Chains A and B, each alone.
Chain A
Amino acid sequence: MFDVVVIGSGPAGYVSAIRASQLGLKTLCVEQSIDEKGKLNLGGTCLNVGCIPSKALLDSSQRYYEANKNLADHGIVVGDLKLDLKSMMKRKDDIVSKLTGGINGLFAANKVQSISGKGKVVSNNIVEVTKTDGSIENIETKNIILATGSKPIEIPSASFSENIVDSTGALSFKKLPKTVGIVGAGIIGLELGSVWSRLGSEVTLLEALDDFLPMADPDISKESYREYKNQGLDIKLSSKVIDTEELKNSVKVTYEQKGKKHEMEFEKLIVAVGRIPNSEEILSEDVNIKIDKGFIEVNEFCQTSIQNIWAIGDLVRGPMLAHKGSEEGIMVAEKIANNHVQVNYDLVPSVIYTHPEIAWVGMNENELKSKGINFKIGKFPFAASGRALAVDQSEGFVKVLTDIKTDTILGVHVFGPAAAEIVQQALISMEFGSSAEDIGLTMFSHPTVSEAFHEAALASNNQAIHIVNKRK
């Protein structure tokens, strides 16, 4: 009998399993994915077909783009520049296998057992594992943690095929497509669009919504939209894909924009309209847990209606982000061990790994206004940051929003270099209830792009040194 069986080994599942084992619980992790050699493939979407491979390609493509466009400005002249997509993909695959292999090592070191197969909860205490050879093993356990993640949504007007792919397919094109269409200008669409656009594809994003990045701070949406357009991403808003037709070596897409029908042809069409939880076939009918629109219903501690069954990560409410799933995994493992850990859902950071990056944490201007909270704004442009200028990344800004009375930081929004890392600094301070003045009173290394956060915090109290403060 196990103390904990975790179904799924993505960033929620494997983290939860490791922590559970660290806490002295006998833990087993069930994973259905296997690699070409038939070996267990740990890490889930994030490591295999998500965060990590996309970041590998984002970095490679950015280097290519810079060599192609910017190096001459630095006085570096390169000869004929060539793209070797095969090597680029191999580098990505190597990173992925290194990391997934790393999880094997971590499991071993932390005494987490793993089993290959498809897990299903058949009763409160039994997980049925169907192995690749079809054999079935029933595993008894005191607690079950569901962490089966999510998968890309497929839309009826664009069913997946040879040339209509999801985000996974878009990370492994064999040759550079001349034209790429992307359905959805969200985080995934923008990242994938950036990769292929930098490598030379003509990229068009078709976004059904009228607003660009509506979940981001309005200043960020506005400025980043302009910047992406400058980079050559053709973003068409209010454009709903209504039909696709597979041609010989391309896809014909029909979309509707403001009542008018348009047609476009792309070599590859990437559908990136969102993800849905993998909640089908993980619970047998006898197990009475409520599922709402694919999401497994849980309380604030990720506990389902059955006391010893938990669900974490993309399976449950909240943003589908690896770090959110990991923290939930930690919380549940600690809860099972009778410890008290709670996820702070108010401070879940979001990042878009384009160039420049977008990142934010806490509330944005729209949210503060709709909540009727009185706030101050401190903004600092990277154009005024010495380091940003030196490294040729002076687009964007840091925006700090604070409570007008208490000076408490309510949100930090960054568009620019190392946005994710800057937001992380803000998040740590916010976790400790920091005020903008606290950041103002903290020393920052010079020259760093982080100084922009320092200055934005100072600016919120009209104390910025390196820009002119707005008049009181």
Chain B
Amino acid sequence: MGIKIKAPTFPESVADGTIANWVKKEGEDINQDEVIAEIETDKVVLEVLAQSDGVISKILKTEGETVESSEIIGEFEESNEPSEIKNTDTQKKSKPKKEEKITEEPQSKKANIENKKIAPAAKKMILEENLDTNDINPTGKDNRITKADVIKHLSPDEEEISSSESSVSNGGRPEKRVPMSRLRSTIAKRLVSVKQETAMLTTFNEVDMLPIKDLRKKYGAEFENEHEVKLGFMGFFVMAAVQALKKFPVVNASIDGNDVVYHGFQDIGVAVSTERGLVVPVIKDADTKSLPEIEKSIIEYSDKARNGKLSIEEMQGGTFTISNGGIFGSLLSTPILNAPQTAILGMHAIQDRPVAINGNITIRPMMYLAMSYDHRLLDGKEAVTFLVSIKEQLESPERLLLNL
């Protein structure tokens, strides 16, 4: 009997996805827990797994089609019983039926391979990779599929993939039109809606990074030895933000309709730039974490993000976000809110600048801080003092210890 293949239940924040790729084709054999299809959402690629052994009988949503949470995307035929039972079953039946059954059994793979000219190594790969021979472009004599054809099918050269790209000539000068990736178009939509739906403005400050630099110089090696993770800057900012958020719970809150939701926890999103676009993994319950724990999660998340391995759960939620444009050299910028959060902190490049301290001009490693906030919920006074509080903690890291 046909079993419905459903898209996974998407997390709340994911409205819909597109079928990125049917890993298995119609008629293909599948083992339990094998990946049948991949669905790209605005955040991650979700895998659809086989619930049991069987065969795909029907594909309802083709690649590129939009699917909603738990929507039926295809049909699946369970392989009924273990083969032993099947044999005794067939023996009872009349002869012609038995033959029928025998030819039916390996159908999926055999239909793939029979009546086709396939070189031995190519056949091996096709069976191992469970490929549909119809998808493979044969180049051998008499349309024989060679091993090279299978390898090229599995990892096509880049120029062969970009079929959806089109070159547009602009008065003889080359131009290329490429469809926006799902992630990119989601980012685009969100950014515009945040700008339109919030009363966003930005407050600036600057922070003298010398104390933290000194601290890192003094304890960096010991810290790394002890915790097997480098003592970075980000950890201090997360710690400082958590302290400040505790002092100003409204910055940690979000607007939901006509209500204000105050969150009793500090989940800090840390923006990470990847090849596919910006993603924001969230350090959950950052208020309960120590500095080494925070540094470790940051490293872990950015590795995962760069390899595209972040799960939706890891990117969900967040009550406050820190974005570091400094790693790219930005001196000053205004970050855009990560809705529905109320504020976002922008870190920037550290620069040696002359500053007046106690009436003397000295050179200090300075960083501009920018905090964009939703003026609907935050007044200027709160926003500014919140940022000052972060600044003070960073300039006197002992405040972090004393919860000041």
Q: How far is it, in angstroms, between the C-alpha of A148 and the C-alpha of B119 when the chains are bound?
A: 40
The interface-forming segment of B27-35, B140-148, B219-227, B342-350 is B140-148
Is A433 part of the binding interface, using a Cβ–Cβ cutoff of 8 Å?
yes
The answer, yes or no, to whether A442 is at the interface (CB within 8 Å) is yes
> CA separation between A385 and B121, bound complex, in Å?
24
Determine the residue in chain A with the shortest Cβ distance to B142.
A432
User: B147 contacts which chain A residues (CB < 8 A)?
Assistant: 406-408, 433-435, 437-438
Determine whether A405 belongs to the interface, using a CB cutoff of 8 Å to chain B.
Answer: yes
For the complex formed, measure the closest distance between the CB of A136 and the CB atoms of chain B, giving whole angstroms.
47
Distance, CA A405 to CA B150, complexed state (A): 11
Given A406-B151, A406-B152, A433 and B120 contact (CB-CB distance below 8 Å): no
Q: Give chain A interface residues in 436-450, CB to chain B under 8 Å.
A: 437-438, 440-442
Q: How far is the CA of A431 from the CA of B148 in the complex (A)?
A: 14
Q: Is B87 at the interface (CB under 8 A from chain A)?
A: no
The residue on B at minimum CB distance from A344 is B141
CB pair A432–B121 under 8 Å, yes or no, is: no
How many Å from the CB of B118 to the closest CB on chain A? 10
Question: How many angstroms from the CA of A437 to the CA of B147 in the assembled complex?
Answer: 8
B-chain residues with CB within 8 Å of residue A407 when the two chains form the complex: 121, 147-148, 151
> How many B residues touch the partner, as a band?
10 to 19
Q: How many A-B residue contacts, CB cutoff 8 Å? A: 53
The listed residue (B122, B124, B141, B152) touching A431 by CB distance below 8 A is B141
B148:A432 contact, CB within 8 angstroms: no
B120/A406 in contact, CB under 8 A: no
User: Separation in Å of the B119 CB from the closest CB of chain A?
Assistant: 5
B116-135 interface code vs A (CB 8 A; 1 in, 0 out)? 00011110100000000000
| A59 within 8 A of partner (CB) | no
A403 at the binding interface (Cβ < 8 Å): yes
> Per-residue 0/1 for A412-433: is the Cβ within 8 Å of any B Cβ (1 yes, 0 no)?
0000000000000000000111
- Interface contact A403-B120, CB-CB below 8 Å: no
Q: Is the CB of A438 within 8 A of B148?
A: no
* Residues of chain B within 8 A of A438, CB atoms compared: 119-122, 146-147
CB distance from A286 to the nearest CB of B (A): 43
Whole-angstrom distance between the Cβ of B57 and the nearest chain A Cβ: 32
B-side contacts of A433, CB under 8 Å: 119, 139-141, 144, 146-149
Contacting A441 at CB < 8 Å: which of B121, B139, B146?
B121
A440 to B123, CA, bound (A): 13
What is the CA–CA distance of A209 and B120 in the complex, to the nearest angstrom? 44
Write out, one digit per residue, whether chain B residues 143-178 have a CB within 8 A of any chain A CB (1) or not (0): 010111101100000000000000000000000000
Specify which chain A residues have a CB less than 8 angstroms from the CB of B124 in the assembled complex: 437, 441
Q: Looking at chain A, what size class is its interface with the partner chain?
A: 10 to 19
Bound together, the chains give a CA A133 to CA B72 distance in angstroms of 92
CA distance A405 to B154 in the complex (A): 12
Say yes or no: A435 contacts B121, CB within 8 Å.
yes
Given contacts A406-B147, A408-B147, A441-B124, contact A435 B152 (CB under 8 A): no
The smallest C-beta distance from A322 to any residue of chain B, in angstroms, reads 24
Cβ–Cβ contact B141 & A434, under 8 A:
no
Contact in complex: B146, A434 (CB < 8 Å): yes
B151 CB → nearest A CB, Å = 5
Residues of A contacting B144 in the complex (Cβ-Cβ under 8 angstroms): 432-433
**Chain B positions within 8 Å of A406 at CB level:** 146-148, 151-152
Chain A residues near B151 (CB-CB < 8 A): 405-407
* B351-394, CB < 8 A from A: none
B141 to A432, Cβ gap below 8 A?
A: yes
**Are A434's CB and B152's CB within 8 A?**
no
- Interchain nearest-CB distance for A17 vs B (Å): 27
* Complex contact B119–A435 (CB within 8 A): yes
Please indicate the chain A residues that have their CB under 8 angstroms from the CB of B122 in the complex: 435, 438
Q: How far is the CA of A432 from the CA of B145 in the complex (A)?
A: 9
**Of A433, A434, A440, most B-chain CB atoms within 10 Å:** A433
Q: 15 A-B pairs, CB-CB below 8 angstroms?
A: A406-B147, A406-B151, A407-B147, A408-B147, A408-B148, A432-B141, A432-B146, A433-B140, A433-B147, A433-B149, A435-B122, A435-B146, A438-B121, A438-B146, A440-B121
The 5 closest A-B pairs by CB, nearest first: A406-B148, A437-B121, A435-B147, A433-B146, A433-B140
Given contacts A433-B140, A433-B141, 19 further A-B contacts (CB under 8 A): A403-B148, A406-B148, A408-B147, A408-B148, A432-B119, A432-B141, A433-B144, A433-B146, A433-B147, A434-B146, A435-B119, A435-B122, A435-B146, A435-B147, A437-B124, A438-B119, A438-B120, A438-B121, A440-B121
